Amino acid sequence: MTFRKYVVLAGVTVFAAAGDSMLSHGMKQTGNISIHHLSSVVLAVLNPWVAVGILLLLAFFGSYMNALSWADLTYVLPATSLGYVLLALVAKFALHEQVSPMRWMGIALISGGVGFVAGGPALTSHDHHRPHGSGGSDCRSSHVVGAASGGAEP
Amino acid sequence: MKHVYTWGAILAVALASVIGDVLLAGAMKQVGDVHALWRRSGLGSVIARILTNPTFFLGVSAMAAAFFSLLFALSWGDVSLVGPAAASLTFIGNAFAAKIFLHEKVDRRRWIAALLVAAGVALLAG
């Protein structure tokens, strides 16, 4: 794992959380959209919050694709679920909302799950054709780490 | 009956998300490490490789199907049930699908992670 790859994972997390919050904020301003007035969806895009939200979600998609090009799906998903934790922390400390004990428990479980995968290798699938050999050494060294710390490596 | 529709739609969301995630992950593995590709042949070639990959478009279509199923699910059930239930099921489903279709080594560490995250997401609704 290089520093750049951690930045990409952080991007996936932050862009998803920020994009969702902005969309949700904007959609509450525009009001309900019914099946019978689908044209209101077009109007919703004109709301600046919604527009920025969509841009952020596009940025999320870009970094998500980037991450999936060099890491396993079962590595990227838990690593990026930290976005839920981020949202709760923003709610607590920026918006001063009440975060219930149940939610803190949920946050603890997610963080624990992320800790579990973060210690292991990012890439395990031995791809039949990897046209661009780079990343191989990266992958090998993390395999060693995974095996040394008790991962079920063959 | 409403419960049946809600849970049916939740399952549809989770199924379409899992299919989409697996297809997109598969497509990006075919494309290869974009950092290396970018360094070697530039951003244009990265974008061209992704946009000429048929699996990528199948994945995007599945994601679109997931999004519309989510809209249906939300019209029958509460967001506090639908959101976390669909997300949790997607985490578990992805662990199975990644093992079977992407041949990822989903070891004990990753199973525990998937279960912890799924449980945590479910608790966030509380």
Which of residues A40 and B76 earns the better pLDDT score? B76
- Domain range holding B42? 2-124
As a 3-state breakdown, chain B gives helix, strand, coil percent values, each rounded to 5, of: 90, 0, 10
**Is the pLDDT score of A53 beyond 70?**
yes
Whether B32 and A69 lie within 8 Å, measured CB to CB? yes
Q: What span, in angstroms and rounded, lies between the C-alpha atoms of B93 and B97?
A: 6
Which of residues B21 and A19 earns the better pLDDT score? B21
Smallest CA-to-CA distance from B34 within B21, B53, B47 is with B47
Is residue B14 a contact partner of residue B89, using CB atoms and an 8 Å limit?
yes
Mean pLDDT value of segment A86-91: 80
Query: Using CB atoms, which residue from B21, B33, B117 is nearest to A81?
Result: B117
- Amino acid letter, residue A71: A
Is residue A135 a contact partner of residue A123, using CB atoms and an 8 Å limit?
yes
- Provide the pLDDT for residue A140: 38
> ipTM of this model?
0.84
- Provide the pLDDT for residue A149: 39
Which of residues B117 and A27 earns the better pLDDT score? B117
* Mean pLDDT estimate for chain B: 88
Q: What span, in angstroms and rounded, lies between the C-alpha atoms of A36 and A68?
A: 38
For the ranges A20-34, A73-87, A94-108, B15-29, the one whose mean pLDDT is highest: B15-29
**Is the pLDDT score of A63 beyond 90?**
yes
Is residue A21 a contact partner of residue A59, using CB atoms and an 8 Å limit?
no
Structurally, chain B folds into a number of domains equal to: 1
Whether A132 and B33 lie within 8 Å, measured CB to CB? yes
Which of residues A6 and A119 earns the better pLDDT score? A6
Largest CA distance in chain A: 59
Query: Using CB atoms, which residue from B50, B106, B122 is nearest to A65?
Result: B50
B41: CB partners within 8 A, 6+ apart: none
Least confident range from A11-20, A81-90, B34-43, B45-54: namely A81-90
Q: Where does the pLDDT of residue A152 fall: very low under 50, low under 70, confident under 90, or very high at 90 and above?
A: very low
Write down the residue that tokens 């799950």 correspond to: A113
Mean pLDDT value of segment B36-55: 88
Whether B94 and A73 lie within 8 Å, measured CB to CB? yes
Q: What span, in angstroms and rounded, lies between the C-alpha atoms of A116 and A42?
A: 43
Chain A partners of B105 at a C-beta cutoff of 8 Å? 124-125, 152-153
CA angle A117, B47, A10 (to 5 degrees): 30
> How many CB atoms are located within 10 Å of the residue A145 CB?
13
A70: CB partners within 8 A, 6+ apart: A5, A122, A123, A135, B33, B34, B35
Minimal Cα–Cα distance from B108 to chain A, Å? 7
Structure tokens at B15: 């199924």
A22: CB partners within 8 A, 6+ apart: A49, A50, A52, A53, A56
**Is the pLDDT score of A146 beyond 60?**
no
- Provide the pLDDT for residue B126: 59
Q: Is A20 helix (H, G, I), strand (E, B) or coil?
A: helix
Q: Where does the pLDDT of residue A14 fall: very low under 50, low under 70, confident under 90, or very high at 90 and above?
A: very high
Q: What span, in angstroms and rounded, lies between the C-alpha atoms of A25 and A19?
A: 10
Task: Give the helix/strand (H/E) hosting A102.
Answer: helix A101-118
Smallest CA-to-CA distance from A111 within A103, A121, A100 is with A103
Least confident range from A117-121, B3-7, B68-72, B73-77: namely A117-121
